[in-house]
Amino acid sequence: MDRLAWVVLFATLMTNLWATAQGIYVDNGNPYDNGTLEVQTLSISQHDAPLLTKVYYPKKIDTYAVLFFTGGLLGEIPAESYSDVLKAIASHGFVVIGVDYLPLAAVSKNERDSDGIQGQVGDQTKKYLAELQWVTQHLEERIARQLNQTGLVPAFDHLAVSCHSAGCDPIVDMTMQNHTFSKAALFLEPFSYNFKTPVTFKMSALMLGTELSTQKPACIYPAQGYDHFYDFWKCPRIVMNVKGHGHCEILNPATFEACKFAHACKINPDSDLKKYRNFIQGISAAFLTTTLQGRDKLQYITNTTALPVELLEFKKDLDC
Ligand SMILES: *[C@@H]1O[C@H](CO)[C@@H](O)[C@H](O)[C@H]1NC(C)=O
Ligand SMILES: *[C@@H]1O[C@H](CO)[C@@H](O)[C@H](O)[C@H]1NC(C)=O
Ligand SMILES: *[C@@H]1O[C@H](CO)[C@@H](O)[C@H](O)[C@H]1NC(C)=O
Ligand SMILES: *[C@@H]1O[C@H](CO)[C@@H](O)[C@H](O)[C@H]1NC(C)=O
């Protein structure tokens, strides 16, 4: 029944997609395998774009769905530190735009709970929206310049947002301000101080959490984390909590080591990080292929016994 609802939803979506933009690249493989496309990196400085931007895109000339990603973790972690996972997602046929999270500078916890912060978040969100507008207008040309060849199209009408940790603060705010620019939301260990009203619009969402992220030293407070996101989101939505993994394991090895050294978040010293990052890219690719490329790969998310990790929690609400 659940599954049928998604099929109907995507059939409807696909009809729309075909009409607006034909020929989006579709990944036909198993999302947990490496994608087949070779990936190129493009850096755009903050003198050019409103925010420091790293773009990971397949080199092959085609039209690709787009992922707009913001990293988080105390605001110290640039999008570049997620490049292993982001490049792997790109290899499944996505133009992945990583923008840096702007930390809320020196704000005390009291202020965070007062209205003062709302204004700041609003200002920050403007910056992300400006960034999105900038890449929408300029990215195709920048890619052509780097490849010395035109024809590679980032299809901004097939866009999803994604974020890790506090990077989800501005992302949620963006979707609150504009319900239609994004077709889906991929929340990786999300965290937000400002997500205080339930959403009223429909946008497919996947929330992923980890067991250790809420344990001391905690990097996610449950009341503002993935379960909260799930509770405040609307159908269609899925939430899962991955057993035995922690908040820094999504990061590239060097940044993970820094996190471990600083005891910033609880980590599992025995976890197989390569395998975990492969899981993250795989579940992301499964979700994004389904929601943006129009090919149903939901079973790679919902068939939890086949996942390469163990779950402590899995909930879905797809019957809408
Ligand atoms: C996938 O790619 C990663 C990173 O390039 C590599 O370490 C891994 O061995 C590859 N896996 C397979 C199954 O080819
Ligand atoms: C770009 O392509 C043109 C035409 O093929 C060629 O003349 C030029 O050298 C190329 N430039 C670079 C930087 O590759
Ligand atoms: C929302 O975003 C879309 C796509 O960027 C844009 O066309 C539309 O005008 C925006 N709507 C509002 C209310 O800003
Ligand atoms: C789920 O995965 C298991 C293990 O790979 C497999 O045996 C089973 O047939 C799958 N179930 C469905 C409904 O696809």
pLDDT score recorded for residue 100: 85
Please give the mean pLDDT across all residues of the chain: 88
Whether 165 has a pLDDT exceeding 50, the answer reads: yes
Q: Which fold has domain 3-317?
A: Rossmann fold (3.40.50)
Q: How far apart are CA 75 and CA 80, in angstroms?
A: 13
Name the 3-class secondary structure at 44.
Answer: strand
- Domain map (residue ranges) of the chain: 3-317
**Alpha carbon of 210 to ligand 4 centroid (Å):** 23
pLDDT, one tens digit per residue, over 101-119 is 776 543 444 444 544 555 5
Spatial neighbors of 96 by CB under 8 A, at least 6 apart, are: 55, 56, 57, 66, 67, 69, 86, 87, 89, 90
**Is any atom of ligand 4 closer than 6 Å to the C-beta of 299?**
yes
Give the C-alpha separation, 50 to 307, whole Å: 38
Considering the chain, what percentage of its residues have pLDDT values greater than 90?
70
How far is residue 190's CA from residue 241's CA, in Å, rounded to a whole number? 12
- The arithmetic mean of pLDDT across residues 306-312, rounded, is 96
Round the CA-based radius of gyration of the chain to a whole number and report it: 18
Ligand 3 contacts CB of residue 180 (under 6 A): yes
44-102 tens-digit pLDDT: 988 899 998 999 999 999 999 999 999 986 556 789 999 999 999 999 999 999 998 77
Ligand 3 pocket, 137 CB below 6 A?
no
Site of tokens 């034909």: 22
